[in-house]
Amino acid sequence: MAAFNYAVKVEDENGFSEKYFTVIAWGTKKRMMEWAKHFDADPRTVESRITREKDGKVVHSYTR
């Protein structure tokens, strides 16, 4: 089974975005797409990406 990571950059209450991605979930691509559907809709999410763990390839990304 391939492993994927879901990571996000968020905007804080002052309107500034984090300078780095924070990995918040790990698992199958299908499961990571479920996380993305939920967190990409959050108004604080500035950017997110799903990467394949074995080679670091970005398989899905979102930018507001």
CA 61 to chain centre: 7
- Across the beta sheet with 22-27, the strand order is 22-27, 4-10, 45-52, 58-63
Distance of CA 26 to the CA centre of its chain: 10
Per-residue pLDDT tens digits for 7-62: 998 887 776 767 788 888 899 999 999 999 999 998 888 999 999 999 999 999 99
pLDDT at residue 1 tops 70: no
The reported pLDDT for the residue numbered 14 is 76
pLDDT at 10: 87
